Amino acid sequence: VKADQSFDDIRVSKVTWDSSFCAVNPKFLAVIVESSGGGAFLVLPLSQVGRVDKNYPLVVGHSGPVLDIDWCPHNDNILASCSEDTTAMVWQIPDHTPSRPISEPIVVLEGHSKRVGIIRWHPTARNILLTAGSDNLIIVWNVGTGEPLMTMDDHPDLIYNVSWNYNGSLFCTTCKDRRLRVCDPRKNEVVAERLSPHEGIRPMRAIFTKEGNIFTTGFTRMSQRELGLWDPTNFEEPIALLELDTSNGVLLPFYDPDTNIMYLSGKGDSSIRYFEITEEPPYVHYISTFSSKEPQRGMGFMPKRGVDVSKCEIARLYKLHERKCEPIMMTVPRKDDLYPDTAGPEPALEPEEWIDGRDADPILVSMRDGYIPPKSRELKVAKKNVLDTRPATRRSMSVIDGSSLPVSRISCLSLVLKCLFHSFCSFITFFSDISQEANRAGNFIQNWVHLKTIIKK
């Protein structure tokens, strides 16, 4: 895109963690940023391109650095974050620009004993959220009640990544113990696993394809980067295994289930490779490489309903530089088969249905005339579980409601009243001190007169 379409002067986080540091949806761009005194991330409307004011209100609330963020697929105003402070938080982002930092999450999820580095929304069920921490636990939550649904402790070491399958019935994980696992969250068990899908000891990544296969990235024994495609029902041999190049950066996969195209972005790389996955040999087909001059610090991937079909755009990625975020548009000549119906914002299942064992594919929407994001919707939560033991949520809007005074006038009146109250208290204290001193002086004079009388006698 043109230079004036970038988001400039963003202080991208320098935390050492292999997450994308960026999340995007049809309304907003979110970037984890450097912050003093805790963790923070920046949320910008997609239309607000150009230089970002250094005083732009951040989303704050974590007491440690933020490690991962993820937009809810069923509500474009809901975002989840996780942090080194061992918590995950869910936030309501207003459509308008807030007048001050957003500091009160709508839900705080506490269940991990160490930092939480991975957070993923369920693709089809409302309010189901997964977190994975450095305590080697995976917890699946019902955000609507703030309660954990299951806790999995089958991983003996650090979990590198987690990916739901297309309908959310399973998820796959990669771990520091060099195993690729397929897990059933409702049975709380590992249903399949493969030792060393890549022989190298460096971190791996895995992601489900729409057909149910698992695409992996890792390293060979000689530290060459490698791709793999696996059938989870038969882990004995890979469907495909390809060597790429020699580099230290972990390849982060971004998958478009509508076109079966996999985009690969490595931290520190200055290129994005993309491959098509098919059912015919060689199964993983190299398409092309997008190259630029500057290395990337992270990457965000736009859901298909956020692309501009009028410009023949099939994918859009948001590349993080050291001080900016640059949109990258993938366009092709217009073809109807490139714009099949795609996953929409409506959940296919309620939490209770998913918990009871039901599965459903995403509800699809047409991309023929493009997609228009709906207005802000509130997250449905059970009030008894939200902020029960915490202060009431402060609202970050500049006006409370149509009949109220603006927040700025209320703040001024509150400040004046506080000053008057403190002045009155100071006056009372001063008057009391004077009275005590007067009493002491009176007692001293009486004692002196009495002493003089005794001396005369």
Q: What is the 3-state secondary structure (H, E, C) of 123-151?
A: CCECCEEEEEECCCCEEEEECCCCEEEEE
* Segments in 93-233 forming alpha helices (H): none
Map 369-415 to HEC letters: CCCCCCCCCCCCCCHHHCCCCCCCCCCCCCECCCCCCEHHHHHHHHH
318, part of any domain: yes
Residue 351 lies in a domain: yes
pLDDT at res. 435: 54
Domain check: are 429 and 309 in the same one? no
Q: What six digits make up the tokens of 247? A: 């580099």
**Within 10 A of 6 (CB to CB), how many other CB atoms are there?**
18
Q: Give the 3-state secondary structure of residue 253.
A: strand
In a domain, 393, yes or no: no
Q: Specify whether 214 is located in the same domain as 326.
A: yes
Question: Do the domain assignments include residue 104?
Answer: yes
Q: SS3 breakdown of the chain: % helix, strand, coil, rounded to 5? A: 15, 40, 45
Output b/e per residue, 282-301; b: 16+ Cβ within 10 A: ebbeeeeeeeeeebbbbbbb
Residue numbers of the domain that contains 78 = 3-385
Whether 399 is in a domain gets the answer no
Domain count, the chain: 2
Domain boundary among 342, 370, 385: 385
Query: What is the spatial distance between Cα 155 and Cα 157, in angstroms, rounded to a whole number?
Result: 6
Residue 400 domain-assigned (yes or no): no
pLDDT value, residue 340: 84
The Cα–Cα gap between 155 and 172 comes to 12
User: What pLDDT is attached to residue 28?
Assistant: 98
Are 157 and 219 part of one and the same domain? Answer: yes
Tell whether 295 is covered by a domain.
yes
Same domain, residue pair 224 and 339? yes
pLDDT tens sequence for the chain (457 residues): 677 899 999 999 999 899 999 999 999 999 999 988 789 999 999 999 999 999 999 999 999 999 999 999 999 999 999 999 999 999 999 999 999 999 999 999 999 999 999 999 999 999 999 999 999 999 999 999 999 999 999 999 999 999 999 999 999 999 999 999 999 999 999 999 999 999 999 999 999 999 999 999 999 999 999 999 999 999 999 999 999 999 889 999 999 999 999 999 998 999 999 999 999 999 999 999 999 999 999 999 999 999 998 888 999 999 999 999 999 999 987 665 667 889 999 999 999 999 999 999 999 998 877 777 776 666 666 644 443 333 333 333 322 233 333 333 334 444 445 445 445 545 455 445 555 555 555 555 565 555 555 555 4
CA distances from 105 to 78, 328, 330 (A): 10, 31, 35
| 250 and 159 both lie in a single domain | yes
Residues 221 and 273 in one domain: yes
Please indicate, yes or no, whether residues 140 and 289 belong to a single structural domain of this protein.
yes
Residues 321 and 450 in one domain: no
Looking at residue 335, what is its pLDDT? 63
Where b means 16+ CB within 10 Å and e means fewer, 89-103 reads bbbbbeeeebeeebb
Same domain, 291 and 417: no
pLDDT at residue 121, as a whole number: 99
pLDDT of residue 406: 36
In a domain, 138, yes or no: yes
User: Largest Cα–Cα distance of the chain, in whole Å?
Assistant: 127
Are residue 32 and residue 144 in the same domain, yes or no?
yes
Centre a 10 Å sphere on the Cβ of residue 156 and count the other Cβ atoms it contains.
10
331 lies in the same domain as 422: no
- Rg of the chain over all Cα atoms, to the nearest angstrom: 29
Which of the listed residues 351, 385, 419 is the one where a domain comes to its end? 385
Res 383: pLDDT: 42
Q: What CATH number is attached to the domain comprising 307?
A: 2.130.10.10
Cis peptide before 94 (omega within 30 of 0): no
**207 in the same domain as 280:** yes
